[in-house]
Structure 1
Amino acid sequence: MSGPAAAGPIREVTLLTNPAAGGGRAEKAARRAAARLRERGIEVLATTGSDAAHSLRLAREAVARGTGALVVAGGDGMISLALQALAGSGVPLGVIPAGTGNDHAREFGIPLKAPEAAADVIVDGRVETVDLGRIQAADGTVRIFGSVLATGFDSLVSDRTNQLRWPHGRMRYNLAILVEFANLRPLPFRLVLADGTVVDRPLTLAAVGNTRSYGGGMVICPGADRTDGLFDVTLVHAMARLRVARFFPTVFKGTHVRRSEVETHRTASLRIESPGINAYADGEYVGPLPAEVRVLPRSLDVLVPGTTAR
């Protein structure tokens, strides 16, 4: 992995907040981060999106204006939204983690529970230029993503989570896992990789990783390198329920890729097909399969920890 480059001095940032993220934690984290940034001599333009469309418009306006950095206070969904505006722009992303999963922040080594420390990264950190992914779903939807594209069992869990109205928060996701586990079945998949390799077999899931983790620290693609111009693709073969129950704890350690039920590939692009399955990227719904997916090399600047001379 290539090392990050030194950031030039940042004098002004746009701080974009999702007030609903993390059960309301984002608004409080944003206030604390803004106060620290101002203490450090940074001009802060604080903005709050009323919904996803409004937030995206605010992000695009900030990028078009040439803000010094677009700083997001929220979770992976809010970062995913910001990526739609930031990709290829040269405007760096700053992160104040305040979501449920925080997999982007975890990937970049940004403090997860200390808004002031995360704000210090904006001031004292360095810029790392990383890859992004682009997916086009069967319905024509195009989405830029930064972490992992999920299809199969995990996307069925996300479908179920979105259908449930109770309970709230993480418990709703846990309930969705139980429901989908009871309905677990082999899913027919067909993947075509950039080199012509074809994978055509029943799977439990297929994950396409630009980075290593999703779902709040599940290391589904432990070998993923966000700067190598390639996706890591993790395919979990169809298994009986008991074997799946024993398998999934290994995903939190990233040791699942050593098992015979898992195969991995690296590719700069792929087509992925599975009837009736939806794709989720950065934890957000994208659209139905089949989908075309490709790497956007070195298309995002991120503020990451590291000392620079000012």
Structure 2
Amino acid sequence: MTEAGLAVRTLAGRDVREAADLARESVEDGVCALVVVGGDGMVHLGLQAVAGSGTPFGVVPAGTGNDFARALGLPLGDPEAAADTVVAGHVREIDLGRTDGQWFAGVVAAGFDAKVNDRVNRMRWPKGPRRYDLATFAELGVFTPIPYHLELDGEVLDLEAMLVAVGNIASYGGGLRITPGAELDDGVFDVVVVAPVSRLTLVRAFRRVKHGTHTVYPFVTVHRARRVKLDAPGITAYVDGERLGPLPRTFDVVPRAQRVYAPAAGIPLDP
């Protein structure tokens, strides 16, 4: 970016809190743009600083999942090419979700997937993706369907399910297309509900999530809504790879809430 003639100020906090403070202070100082280097957790941190400010947002994907970058069509595994997207100055207006004052870009996990996240956070071994495999296997052994209270733009659904996912984008977990029809600028969430099934059937369905073809199963339903109220006992929600906190929660779509640097189909913006 410097070689391209942009004036770059590097922010590196000693921890998450300091990084968030530095980002927010820079936006308040009137920087032309905020660019984060990292994964979906770093995207989540950056969005808290820029959302609602009018400051454009850029991402150089360098994390494990990179689902937000994937949704934008940014190059993965090539930081120079991702930085070139910022330099080119094309922006796209996208929707964001909001809950209890927090902004988010991705998919809310609030079921079996959230339980796996809880288990992973308690594990100290092994490191890396293998931890998720073991956590999934262990959770399958004890998991039972969850009673949900769900409100979709006022429509009330009381049901049991294996999971409910609320998607602003199509994937989480590094390309798992749990809400395959979700788009960043359509003004609604895609809400996927997986009804109670056997553990073996759940495993088979999850094998199809990578390609987003699990929605063909009769026990998977897809809803669309601008506001989602969700409650379930003992469930902690996750989004953008971050822990949101226990249910109940209300999730709202904020249409065209943020300008982001994206590949060429966007609107040219002077650096």
1:226 and 2:184 correspond: yes
> Which residue is 2:21 aligned to?
57
Contact 2:188–2:226 under 8 Å retained in 1: yes
State the shift of 1:268 in Å.
Answer: 0.5
2:261 aligns with: 303
- Deviating above 4 A after TM superposition, structure 1's stretches of 4 or more consecutive aligned residues are 307-310
Q: Could you tell me which residue of structure 2 aligns to residue 67 of structure 1?
A: 31
Shift of 1:38: 1.3
* Aligned match of 2:152: 193
Alpha-carbon shift at residue 281 of structure 1 (Å)? 1.1
Aligned-partner residue type, residue 75 of structure 1: G
Matches within 5 A, 1:84-95: 84-95=48-59
User: Paired residue for 1:205, among 149, 155, 163?
Assistant: 163
- Report SS of the residue matched to 1:38: coil
Structure 1: which amino acid aligns with 2:47?
L
- The question of 1:150 aligning with 2:114 is answered no
C-alpha deviation, 1:125, in angstroms: 4.0
Aligned length: 268
* Residues 182-237 of structure 1: CA deviation (Å, up to 9, x unaligned): 2221111110111x322211111100011111010011111112112111101111
- Are 1:176 and 2:135 an aligned pair? yes
Letter in 2 for 1:102: N
Q: Distance in 2 between matches of 1:69 and 1:168?
A: 35
- Helix, strand or coil at the partner of 2:131: helix
Letter in 2 for 1:167: P
What is the letter of the counterpart of residue 104 of structure 1? F
Q: Deviations over 1:93-141 (max 9, x none)?
A: 11111100000110001111111101100011411111110123xxxxx
Match of 2:85 in 1: 121
The answer for the alignment partner of 2:43 in structure 1 is 79
Say if 2:253 is the partner of 1:289: no
**Which residue is equivalent to 1:44?**
8
Aligned residue in 1 for 2:172: 214
Partner of 2:68: 104
> Does structure 1 retain, via aligned residues, the 8 Å contact 2:90–2:269?
no
In structure 2, the residue matched to 1:31 is none
Q: Is the CA contact 1:125–1:305 (under 8 Å) kept in the aligned structure 2?
A: no
Unaligned ranges ≥5, structure 1: 1-36, 137-141
Query: 1:177–1:309: structure 2 CA closer, same or farther, 3 Å change rule?
Result: closer
CA contact (8 A) 1:75 1:98 kept: yes
* Residue 233 (structure 2) aligns with: 275
Question: How many angstroms apart in 2 are the aligned matches of 1:39 and 1:300?
Answer: 27
Q: Does 2:107 match 1:161?
A: no
One-letter amino acid matched to 2:207: P
| 8 Å Cα contact 2:11/2:23 also seen in 1 | no
Instruction: Name the amino acid aligned to 1:171.
Output: R
C-alpha displacement at 1:159, in angstroms?
A: 0.6
Structure with higher RCO (Cα < 8 A, 6+ apart): 2
Alignment root-mean-square deviation, CA: 1.3
Query: Letter of the aligned partner of 2:241 in structure 1?
Result: G
Contact 1:87 / 1:299 at 8 angstroms: preserved in 2? yes
> Identity of paired residues, percent?
49
Query: Whole-Å Cα distance in 1 between the matches of residues 98 and 167 of structure 2?
Result: 12
Letter in 1 for 2:103: I
Equivalent pair of 1:210/1:224 in contact (CA under 8 Å): yes
- Aligned residue among 202, 208, 232 for 1:244: 202
CA-CA distance at 1:309 after TM superposition: 9.1
What is the alpha-carbon distance in structure 2 between the residues aligned to residue 270 and residue 107 of structure 1? 22
Query: Displacement of 1:166 after TM fit?
Result: 1.2
Cα distance in 1 for residues equivalent to 2:251 and 2:269: 39
Q: Separation in 1 of the partners of 2:182 and 2:192?
A: 10
Q: Report if aligned partners of 1:204, 1:239 keep a CA contact under 8 Å in 2.
A: yes
Bigger shift: residues 101-110 or 181-190: 181-190
2:88 is the counterpart of 1:130:
no
